[in-house]
Amino acid sequence: MDREPLPAGEAVKLTRKRKILLGAFAFIVGILWVACNHLEWRGGGIPKMVWRPSAPDIDKLRKQRADDSKVVPAKISKEDVNATKISPVGFRGVNGDGVYEDEIILTSWPEQGPPVLWRKLIGGGHSSFAMAGNLAFTIEQQENNEVVVAFSTQTGRAQWSFEYSAKFEEYFGGIGPRSTPAWDEGRLYSLGAKGHLHCLDANTGKLIWGKNLMTENKAEIPYWGVSASPFIYKNTVILTPGGENDDAIVALDKESGKKVWSALNGVQTYSTPVLLELLGKEQLLVSLKDKVVAINPNDGTLLWSHPWKIFMNNNNIAQPTRLAEDVVLISAGYGTGAEAFQIVSKDNAMSTESLWKSKSLKTKFSSPVLWKGHLYGLNDNRLVCLDAKNGSLKWRGDKFGYGQIIAASGHLIVLGDDGDLALVEMNPDQFVQKAKFKALKGGRTWNYPALSQGLLFVRNSYEMVCYDLRAK
Q: Strand ranges (DSSP E) for 347-403?
A: 349-358, 369-371, 374-379, 382-387, 393-399
pLDDT given for residue 54 in this prediction: 80
The answer on pLDDT for 378 being more than 50 is: yes
Q: In the predicted model, what is the mean pLDDT of the chain?
A: 91
Cα-to-chain-centroid distance, residue 240: 16
pLDDT at 173: 87
For the ranges 77-91, 297-311, 397-411, 455-469, the lowest mean pLDDT is seen at: 77-91
Q: Report residue 391's pLDDT band, with 50, 70 and 90 as the boundaries.
A: very high
Backbone angles phi, psi at 24, to 5 degrees: -65, -40
Residue 206 near residue 200, CB atoms below 8 Å: yes
Domains of the chain: which residue ranges?
Answer: 38-468
Q: Are 149 and 160 in contact (CB under 8 A)?
A: yes
Does 33 score more than 90 pLDDT?
no
C-beta of residue 6 within 8 angstroms of C-beta of residue 344: no
User: Which CA distances in Å does 270 have to 18, 224, 297, 400?
Assistant: 55, 8, 19, 22
pLDDT exceeds cutoff 90 at 265: yes
The CATH topology of domain 38-468 is: Methylamine Dehydrogenase; Chain H (2.130.10)
Q: Exposed, middle or buried, 183 (CB in 10 Å: 0-12/13-18/19+)? A: buried
Of residues 297 and 35, more confidence is placed in 297
Lowest-confidence region among 37-46, 65-74, 373-382, 392-401: 37-46
Q: What is the pLDDT of residue 28?
A: 55
140 falls in which pLDDT band (50, 70, 90)? very high
pLDDT in tens, 72-96: 665 566 656 655 556 789 999 999 9
pTM of the model: 0.90
Q: Which residues on adjacent β-strands are paired with residue 286? A: 293
